[in-house]
Structure formats: structure tokens, C-alpha cells
């Protein structure tokens, strides 16, 4: 019994049927579910030992033999590699920009072959240029190798403190590569180190020279003291020399002779003991910072052994400490005075004046935290007070501009209270008060004149009323009420005078006075009627 095998066109699965399939028979793949027609040539036969499947049931996939699987895998691998390689080559080719066509100076017509001699010349130039580039590359490598060798030796000399050799090495290296930062830094370091070493050697020679001179002076003082049988002074001189030159055996021998001679001389022995005791007392006083006592002790030691270098040095040190202590005491005293002055200003509510005083105190003792905190607070208070002062002064000036001296006086007084003792605020407050007083007096006189003018108007004494109103307006110019009353008085005066002139048959004067009255009080019925009457009589 045979079976048919065919391949799915979609998933390429090998499928098996229990019998030979007819052409163009529609079947369905059990793996991907694709329905397709059988090809003209279907598969191959399989042995009867294989289990058949029903033709009507879905086809079953057939697993290929192991050898066939290997072959398929190898074929698929090489196919993938071939496809990927082709895609990569195509991508590289397409990514390269298309070079512009070279423009020939003398283009040749198509079909004419290139000049073989020119091509040969080009190949010759390329052959010559290649050895030249190789030679230049070799020279650069040799130069770098020589530079590295010089740098290595210079670095080694620098570490070994052979600064002159290191300096020369760095200089040679910089001749090869002048811009190399490491070589420049090494040269600078070597040069500075050599200079420092030379200066140190010079100082050592000078110190040794001074030490030898001091040793010679001490030995000479010791000899003179021995000749004068001042054995204590001799011991001290030789001791000083021994301290400066401990390896000199002759100094030790001279010191031993002086000590032996002093032991036999009771007076010198006593002097030496007193000298040493004074030195001990002075040094103890220095430790306890009793500098005056130290000065006295060292001076006593120097009196016992005049010219003694040890006592002289200790005496000088004690005097410096004493002077420094006196300066410190003066500094502290000045500091305390400044604090007291600043506190007085703060108590007087003048932090602006306390701030500069506290700044001087901080300069004397910058590490005093209390003073620094006090200065910070005073500066803040001073700023607040100054802002309030400026505000009050501005409000006072505005009130004066509005001719309100009483209000201005209040603002100026507030500014003076904010900064007590301020001359400007005090002066302006006084000026505002004086202006207010003068204005009050003027107001009283003004009111009296208005009463006087009103009484004159009631008695029809308009001329007196006009005079009084004018005097009032001189005291307070442009006062609205007085200006209106003045106009009414002038109207009454003109109307009264016009009536008198009309009664005296002075028609022209009467007309003029009635017109003035109408100017003062337009459309007044009485003045209008009198004017009409006067004009009628004038005809």
C-alpha cells in the first residue's frame, strides 16, 4: 500500500496521505490551516509500513529524516548568509557618494585610447611617493623614540635630585618637541628645584660662617675671662661655644679647665650659681607669662655675667613679650572703650551711630562673636530706623507743600524721634511749628477783619467793608469766602454810588457805576433796572 507526500505552499511542511491523490484535489494543511490544490506531480511513494491516514481527514505533517533535516538546515544557513551578504554589499555601494566626473583639460573624443606614457608616469610618481612617506614615518618614529629616551633620563635625574642634569635633559627634549607640556613642566620644576637647592646651600654656608664667627667670639671671651680669673664668665662662654660646635674637642678641654678653676674659686662658684638661678627664675616667669619678673631675672643674670649671649637673648625675648603684652592691654582697653561708646549710642536709640563704632571694635578683635552679633543687630536696626526716618521726612515735606504746617510738624517730630538728635528733622519741625503759629495768628486777624467788614456792610458802609476785605486777603491770599464777600461789598458800593449820581443828575457817572455793579453781579434785577432808568434819562 502506498502513500502520497506533498509540501504545503505556505509553511513548506511535508504532508502525507494514505493514498495517491488526484490532480487539482483541494486539501488542507494541519499545521498552518492553509487550503490548497494538489500539484500535477505529487510527492513520492512511501513504504507500506508507514501508517496511512484517511483521505478525507486533514493531512498530517511528516517529519523528515535526520539526514534530510541537516541538509535543509545547512542549505537554509548558507542561503541566509548569501542574502545578508548581498544586502550588506548593496548598502555599502549605495551609501558611497557618486564622485563628480573629472573634467579633462583636453577631452578626447570617444573611441580614442588613453596615452600609455602618461599612465606610466603616474605609476612612477606613486612608486616614488610611497618610499618617501615611509621614510618620513620612520623619521617621526625615530624622533619620538629619542624624545622618550631623553624624557625618561630627565625624569630619573629629577627624582634623584640631579636638577642640573634634569634641566639639560628637558631642554634637549624640547628641541625635538617644543610644545610638549610634560617637558615644559619638567623643565620648570627642575629649574626651580635647582634654584632652591642653590639658595639653601648658600644659606647653609652663611649660617656656618656666622656660627664659626660666633664660636670664635665665645672662645675669645672665654680666654679673656680666664685671664681675668672670671671663671664663671669663662664657663658660660665655653658652654655657648660647645653648644655651637659640639665636635670641637679643644672647646671641651677649655670648658673643663674653666670648670676646674671655678670649683677652686668660691666667689666665682657663687657667681655662677647665682647666674644659673636667675636664668631659671626668668624662664619660669616666662612660662607663667610674668614678663616683668622675667625681665628683672634675666637682667640680674646679665649683670653677673656681662656680655653673656644666653642671658642677653633671653632678656630681649622677655622685653618683646612684655611690650607685646602692653600692646595687647592697650588694644583691649581701646576695644572696651569702643563697646561703651557703641552702647551709649544704642541706648540713645541711634543704631546708625553705633554701627561704625562697632566696626572699629570688630577690626581689633575679629573673632569676638558677641561683638559681631551686636554689630549685625545694630546694622539691621539702623536700616529700619533710616527707612522710617526718610518716610516721615518725605511726608512732612508733602504736608508743607500743601500748606499744612501742623501736619508737617507732626511728621518732622516723628522723624526726629526715630533718629534722636538729628539736626535736619529738628530744624524742619521747628520751622513748621513757627509757620503754624504765624498762620494761626494770621487766621485770627483774618477772622477779625471779616467781622469788621461784615459790620460795615450791614451799615451800608461799603467802602470800609472793601478796605477790610482787601486787608484780610493780604493775610490769606485767594481765600474763597473773603473773595466772594469782597465782590458783594464792591457791588453794594457801586450800586449806592450810582444811585447818588443818578439823584444828583450825573447820568454818565451813574451809568458807569451801574455797569460795574452788573459786572460784579451779572443780571442783578436792581442794577439792571437802575441802569435802564439812567440810560432813559440820558436820552
What structural domains and CATH numbers belong to the chain? 4-86 (no CATH), 139-264 (1.25.40), 266-347 (1.25.40), 440-538 (1.25.40)
Q: What pLDDT is attached to residue 139?
A: 85
Give the burial string for 390-399 (b: 16+ CB within 10 Å, else e). Answer: eebbebbeeb
Query: How many angstroms separate the CA atoms of 94 and 121, rounded?
Result: 33
Q: Which three cell numbers stand for residue 417?
A: 524721634
Q: What pLDDT is attached to residue 140?
A: 85
Among 11, 7, 15, 37, smallest CA distance to 24 is for: 37
Query: How many angstroms separate the CA atoms of 475 and 332, rounded?
Result: 65
Q: What pLDDT is attached to residue 395?
A: 93
Query: How many angstroms separate the CA atoms of 304 and 311, rounded?
Result: 10
Q: What pLDDT is attached to residue 110?
A: 47
Q: What pLDDT is attached to residue 340?
A: 93
Under 8 Å between Cβ of 3 and 19: yes
Q: What pLDDT is attached to residue 462?
A: 86
Query: How many angstroms separate the CA atoms of 342 and 345, rounded?
Result: 5
Under 8 Å between Cβ of 502 and 534: yes
- Tell me the CA end-to-end span of the chain in Å, nearest whole number: 166
Q: Which three cell numbers stand for residue 323?
A: 611690650
CB-count burial class (<10 Å; 0-12, 13-18, 19+) for 274: middle
- In tens, the pLDDT along 202-224 reads 888 888 888 888 888 888 888 78
Query: How many angstroms separate the CA atoms of 271 and 273, rounded?
Result: 5
Q: What pLDDT is attached to residue 56?
A: 40
The parts of the chain modelled with pLDDT lower than 70 are 1-5, 17-24, 39-128, 229, 263-266
Q: What pLDDT is attached to residue 150?
A: 92
Q: Is 27 helix (H, G, I), strand (E, B) or coil?
A: strand
Beta strands of 194-292 (E only): which ranges? none
Query: How many angstroms separate the CA atoms of 460 and 367, rounded?
Result: 89
Under 8 Å between Cβ of 427 and 416: no
Helix boundaries (H) for 19-65: none
Q: Please state whether 165 falls in left (phi above 0), alpha (psi between -120 and 50) or beta.
A: alpha
Query: How many angstroms separate the CA atoms of 539 and 536, rounded?
Result: 5
Look up the pTM and report it. 0.35
Given the C-alpha cell 467788614, which residue does it identify? 453
Among 49, 45, 51, smallest CA distance to 2 is for: 45
Amino acid at each position: 500500500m502506498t502513500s502520497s507526500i506533498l509540501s504545503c505552499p505556505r509553511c513548506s511542511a511535508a504532508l502525507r496521505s494514505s493514498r495517491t491523490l488526484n490532480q487539482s484535489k483541494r486539501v488542507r494543511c494541519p499545521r498552518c490551516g492553509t487550503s490548497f490544490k494538489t500539484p500535477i506531480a505529487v510527492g513520492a511513494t512511501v513504504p507500506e509500513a508507514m501508517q496511512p491516514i484517511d483521505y478525507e481527514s486533514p493531512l498530517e505533517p511528516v517529519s523528515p529524516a535526520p539526514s534530510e533535516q541537516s541538509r535543509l538546515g545547512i542549505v537554509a544557513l548558507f542561503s541566509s548568509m548569501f542574502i545578508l551578504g548581498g544586502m550588506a554589499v548593496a548598502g555599502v555601494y549605495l551609501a558611497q557618494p557618486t564622485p563628480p566626473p573629472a573634467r579633462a583639460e583636453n577631452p578626447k573624443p570617444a573611441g580614442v585610447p588613453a596615452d600609455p606614457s602618461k599612465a606610466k608616469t603616474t605609476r612612477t610618481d606613486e612608486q616614488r611617493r610611497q618610499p618617501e612617506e615611509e621614510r618620513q614615518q620612520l623619521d617621526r618614529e625615530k624622533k619620538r623614540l629619542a624624545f622618550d629616551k631623553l624624557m625618561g633620563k630627565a625624569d630619573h635625574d629629577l627624582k634623584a635630585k640631579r636638577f642640573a642634569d634634569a634641566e639639560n635633559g628637558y631642554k634637549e627634549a624640547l628641541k625635538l618637541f617644543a610644545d610638549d607640556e610634560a617637558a615644559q613642566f619638567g623643565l620648570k620644576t627642575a629649574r626651580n628645584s635647582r634654584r632652591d637647592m642653590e639658595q639653601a646651600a648658600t644659606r647653609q654656608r652663611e649660617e656656618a660662617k656666622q656660627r664659626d664667627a660666633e664660636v670664635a667670639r665665645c672662645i675669645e671671651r672665654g680666654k679673656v675671662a680666664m685671664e681675668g680669673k672670671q671663671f664663671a664668665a669663662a664657663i658660660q662662654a665655653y658652654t655657648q661655644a660647645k653648644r655651637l660646635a659640639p665636635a670641637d674637642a679643644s672647646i671641651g678641654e677649655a670648658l673643663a679647665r674653666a670648670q676646674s678653676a671655678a670649683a677652686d674659686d668660691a666667689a666665682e662658684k657663687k657667681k655662677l650659681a647665682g647666674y644659673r638661678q636667675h636664668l631659671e627664675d626668668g624662664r619660669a616667669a616666662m612660662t607663667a607669662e610674668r614678663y616683668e619678673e622675667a625681665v628683672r631675672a634675666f637682667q640680674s643674670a646679665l649683670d653677673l655675667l656681662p656680655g653673656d649671649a644666653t642671658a642677653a637673648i633671653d632678656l630681649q625675648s622677655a622685653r618683646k613679650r612684655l611690650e607685646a603684652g602692653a600692646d595687647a592691654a592697650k588694644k583691649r582697653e581701646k576695644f572696651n572703650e569702643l563697646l561703651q561708646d557703641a552702647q551709649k549710642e544704642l541706648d540713645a536709640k541711634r543704631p546708625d551711630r553705633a554701627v561704625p563704632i562697632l566696626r572699629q571694635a570688630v577690626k581689633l578683635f575679629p573673632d569676638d562673636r558677641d561683638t559681631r552679633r551686636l554689630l549685625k543687630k545694630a546694622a539691621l536696626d539702623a536700616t529700619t530706623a533710616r527707612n522710617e526716618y526718610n518716610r516721615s521726612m518725605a511726608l512732612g515735606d508733602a504736608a508743607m507743600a500743601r500748606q499744612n504746617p501742623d501736619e508737617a510738624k507732626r511728621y518732622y517730630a516723628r522723624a526726629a524721634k526715630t533718629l534722636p538728635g538729628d539736626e535736619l528733622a529738628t530744624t524742619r519741625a521747628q520751622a513748621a511749628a513757627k509757620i503754624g503759629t504765624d498762620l494761626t495768628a494770621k487766621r485770627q486777624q483774618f477772622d477779625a477783619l471779616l467781622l469788621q467788614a461784615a459790620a460795615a456792610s450791614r451799615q451800608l458802609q461799603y467802602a470800609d467793608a472793601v478796605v477790610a476785605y482787601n486787608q484780610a486777603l493780604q493775610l490769606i491770599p485767594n481765600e474763597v469766602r473773603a473773595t466772594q464777600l469782597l465782590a458783594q461789598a464792591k457791588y453794594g458800593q457801586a450800586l449806592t454810588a450810582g444811585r447818588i449820581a443818578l439823584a444828583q443828575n450825573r447820568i454818565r457817572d451813574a451809568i458807569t457805576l451801574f455797569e460795574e455793579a452788573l459786572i460784579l453781579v451779572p443780571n442783578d434785577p436792581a442794577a439792571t433796572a437802575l441802569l435802564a432808568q439812567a440810560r432813559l434819562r440820558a436820552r
